[in-house]
Amino acid sequence: MVIGTTGFSVLDLKRIETLANNNQVGIVYAPNITLGVNVLMILTKLASILLNNYDFQISEIHHRNKKDSPSGTAVKIAKEIESGLLYAGKDIPEAGISINSVRAGGVVGKHEVLIAGEDDRITISHESFSRKVFASGAIHAIKFIQNKAGFYEMRDVLDLSKVIEDLYINKNEHNSENLKDIVAVDKVNLH
């Protein structure tokens, strides 16, 4: 099962995880199923660990009819930043990570993370031009969860721990064979 909706409380997600584990059912949960925005989350968390003395600001824009504000994706990005800061031994700002939300026009979705230091700035951004990216992410999640039991997130679908292990522990910098099942977006035909 793949769940790509938002609005779940922490308790709701714990219940879903318990159901998956107790019933030996495979569930992938993601407030945003696109591969690109999940890479943004990984990069942002990494930045919050390595640049933990910088300020973080999230901006998101969606179509005028989107009900939740901030988006579930923006909330998840903020949680990833907070998790990285805690990992680095830093305190979370009392007000949390700032999120600016805009609802206008027919924008499918754009998320941007500003990472600002005293002397430089990094911006990590993802914009969906088409809803096809949601379908592509869902297909990857479905392929991943097939014949598995337990509760997973998109970081599991992207196999982040394997990528890190190959690149930094095993130093397999030129072994793209390991990625053939992970990053195959261009092989998914949605037409």
- Residue 163's pLDDT is 79
pTM over 0.85: no
Region of poorest pLDDT, from 119-123, 134-138, 146-150, 174-178: 174-178
Q: Rounded distance, CA 75 to CA 59, Å?
A: 11
Summarize the confidence of residues 30-49 as an average pLDDT.
93
Summarize the confidence of residues 115-143 as an average pLDDT.
94
**Mean pLDDT, all residues of the chain:** 88
- Residue 173's pLDDT is 60
Q: Which CATH number covers residue 148?
A: 3.30.360.10
Catalytic residue among 45, 62, 111, 126: 62
Domain that holds residue 34: 2-187
Catalytic residue among 14, 63, 66, 187: 66
Distances in Å between the Cα of 131 and the Cα atoms of 36, 127, 143, 182 are 13, 11, 19, 21
76 is catalytic: no
For tokens 């969860």, what's the residue?
145
Q: Are 115 and 124 in contact (CB under 8 A)?
A: yes
Strands 109-116 and 121-128 turn out to be: antiparallel
Summarize the confidence of residues 162-180 as an average pLDDT.
67
Q: Rounded distance, CA 6 to CA 11, Å?
A: 13
Domain tally, the chain: 1
45 is catalytic: no
Kindly tell me if the per-residue pLDDT of 17 is higher than 50.
yes
